[in-house]
Amino acid sequence: MSNDALRRQVASLVVVRASGHASDRQRRYPRWELTNADLKRLLNSGVGGVILLGGTAVELQQRCRQLRHWAQGPLLLCADVEEGVGQRFEGGSWLVPPMALARLHQSDPEQAEAMAERYGACTGRQAKQCGMNWVLAPIVDVNNNPANPVINVRAWGDDPTTVTRLTLAFQRGLNQAGVLGCAKHFPGHGDTAVDSHLQLPVLPHSRERLEQLELKPFRACIAAGIDSVMTAHLQIPSLDPDRPATLSKAVLTGLLRDEMGFEGLVVTDALVMEAIREHHSAGDAALLAFEAGADLVLMPEDADAAITAICAGIESGRISRERLNASLQRRQQALARVEHQAGSELSLDVEQTEDRALAQTLVELTCESQGPSIAHRPPHTAINLIRIDGVLSCPQLPASAPALLLPEQAGFRPLIHHPMAVSIWKEDVWSRGDRSAPLALDRLGEGPVLLQLFLRGNPFRAGRDQQEPWAEAIDQLQACQRLAGLVVYGSPYAWESLRSLLEPTIPAAYSPGQMPEAQHTVMHRLFLADSAHPSTQGPGEGFTD
């Protein structure tokens, strides 16, 4: 085999990152998203996969056609649409986080599993219509660590039974849509308090504990025929004391392939993540991952270096030709199951009426509230204090967001707090550790405060969200009788912790979703509920206009 032929074969096992937008100037993350010139060159040279982010659903349809035109063969086209296509691409359905259905599963397992299947079908159908053939979901991690900064509400639960039941239902939905699914992150990223985007987590558990918790949902997904499994950038000394799972032959070949019998595609998590990048060059990381048992190399820091390193490993005999051929065959078999996807028709209506109905039903089923409504109009000095991760390109808080407009109609002026804003905290909270009265009330102004907290596990923030003293802030506002209401969007852990601090007369509501539809439902619970509604509502008791 010629060097060029070998290089094309290896290149077909590399998945690079691209923007869903057509223009280079529209890239949101130019550090990771290749220019069109580099994309065209790499696809023309045989690169076989692209992971996409950004743009509208209609733009994505056109982008996928363009990428296929540039490629020399069939492509795997994928995205991290764990919460529906609308999570990443405007115009698709943005669904509540999977953890929302885990809470519903506690009270109504049958309904939760039916909803999870519809969730998967909606996601798969829209992904396919946009031009993709591979959905990088479901998350199969058991999020039994509430302090997990990277998995958190992305998981389908915090116990293995719930995660297993719901992920299998989600996968059935993907199968109906005719797209590939991906169970991640093997062998389990749910019990970490470290973000692998930033550093390498270590999971100290025994093999017996892994079997009881982390591995159970993966075994079930494999038995149900999951198409692919994504690796986790974490180290588990009981499985391999020397290398993280992504680079470990003991984990990917010994455990996943030989012991658990997985025959589908093994794909690495993004190799640009610091858990790998900090310790290995682009070429070494790709070579070690492929040598360990990965079939597909996702987002190497340098695609050319990754291809060169794997080719060198094969030419030197370090990696056998049979090993390469096995990965090529698994990729071909996966593509054969979805190759009809390439002929999808362009459509301006990716989100259908039934999809919008599903999204709203999920919001209503999983919204919770307690206490009375905010029935009276407050003084003109009332404050709508919103905590959010950022305001630049923030899909949760557009100018028309119900979390802004509906309280404003009721007399609450908006005040947005985010990491780049002037701090609302007293300086001595951080310098001296005095958290008893953390808010700088003089900066807020006078009047009652509606507190809206957008909190969820967010990658790249190193758990800083959990350092913010919101419990003390609530106590402080209640002590001076200024807390008009509390809303938590996202984390059920934050909601359960903070709701227990509230006086019975304080209106409060929770939604696992952070999208405008969730805000609309929550605001109606707080401001428009009348005496006919019970004072406390939970999953399954959704408010309707």
Strand (E) or helix (H) holding 313: helix 303-315
Q: Give the C-alpha separation, 545 to 533, whole Å.
A: 12
Backbone angles phi, psi at 111, to 5 degrees: -65, -40
Query: Cα(132)–Cα(405) distance, rounded to whole angstroms?
Result: 36
DSSP helix/strand/coil, 188: coil
- Name the one residue in this structure whose structure tokens are 């028309």: 400
Per-residue buried b or exposed e for 503-539, using 16+ beta carbons within 10 Å of the residue's own CB? eeebbbbbbbbbbbbbbbbbbbbbbebeeeeeeebbb
SS3 30: coil
Active site positions, annotated: 197, 269
How far is residue 96 from each of residues 93, 118, 155, 274, 517, measured CA to CA in Å? 10, 13, 12, 28, 10
Helix (H) and strand (E) counts in the chain = 20, 14
Q: Are the C-beta atoms of 418 and 385 separated by less than 8 Å?
A: no
Residues contacting 515, CB < 8 A, separation 6+:
86, 94, 395, 396
Rounded to whole angstroms, how far apart are CA atoms 254 and 269? 19
Nearest alpha carbon to residue 166 among 211, 217, 93: 217
- Beta bridge pairs of residue 416: 386
Count of residues making up the chain: 545
CB 425 within 8 A of CB 437: no
Q: Is the torsion defined by CA of 202, 205, 207, 211 positive or negative?
A: negative
Omega before 105 within 30 of 0, i.e. cis: no
Structure token digits, residue 311: 């080719």
Backbone angles phi, psi at 108, to 5 degrees: -145, 80
Strands 14-19 and 508-511: unpaired
